[in-house]
Amino acid sequence: MTQTMLTDTVYVSFSAEIIPKTAESLIGLFANLANQSVPHVYLMLSTPGGAVMSGLNLYNIMRGLPFDITVHNVGNVDSIGNAIFLAGSKRYACPHSTFMFHGVGFDIQSPIRLEEKFLRERLDAIDADQRRIGQIIEERTQLTGEQVKGLFLEAQTKDATFAASCGIVHEIRCNPYRLQSDKPLSAAR
């Protein structure tokens, strides 16, 4: 992660997996910026996703910060990274960036004994996490609940044009450093 001070906007680059360590580092940076009364943070994001718990924690904190957050997909935003991306009040994507959606799962560490109680607990946790992520996507985009369920079942990568067509991004634009003079690209090219 790096930050650069430029006028009233602080630029932050985050290109990492969402795990407790990276999420806590970003949260700590945001807390420092809030304590400095920074009015606007521009988060350049690329992530393969990661831990749902860390991602939802980051989403909720970002939504509650006392400054405006713009998020710009500068590569790939995958999995739980989509919820984090949607925390931005303004959202942009580079023309060749992608968004990948899939359902929630869990890894099995062996040796493990699978019994009904364990499987029911895991399924309940998966359902709860998937509902929370689905609600975020529904609330912050123009996608319906059924469309979100379809995205989770598809497990496909979507492009910036798709993201612009359904409100995941507000504009497709190339350069995160040119806020005012950067001409947004048409969503249909």
pLDDT tens-place string over residues 133-151? 999 999 999 999 999 999 9
CATH of the domain at 28: 3.90.226.10
In a domain, 151, yes or no: yes
For residue 165, is it within any domain?
yes
Whole-model pTM: value is: 0.87
Distance between CA atoms of residues 95 and 189, nearest Å: 10
- Domains held by the chain: number: 1
Residue 177 lies in a domain: no
Look at residue 162 and tell me if it is in a domain.
yes
Tell which wins on pLDDT, 6 or 130: 130
pLDDT of residue 30 exceeding 50, the answer is: yes
Given a contact cutoff of 8 angstroms between Cβ atoms, the answer to whether 137 and 143 are in contact is yes
**Segment 37-89, tens digit of pLDDT:** 999 999 999 999 999 999 999 999 999 999 999 999 999 999 999 999 999 99
Give the pLDDT confidence score for residue 178 in this predicted structure: 63
Residue 45 sits in which domain range?
Answer: 2-172
pLDDT at 106: 76
Q: In Å, what is the CA distance from 11 to each residue of 37, 40, 44, 84, 141? A: 15, 9, 7, 16, 24
pLDDT in tens, 91-147: 999 999 999 999 888 777 777 778 899 889 988 999 999 999 999 999 999 999 999
Q: Does a structural domain hold residue 137?
A: yes
Q: Is 33 domain-assigned? A: yes
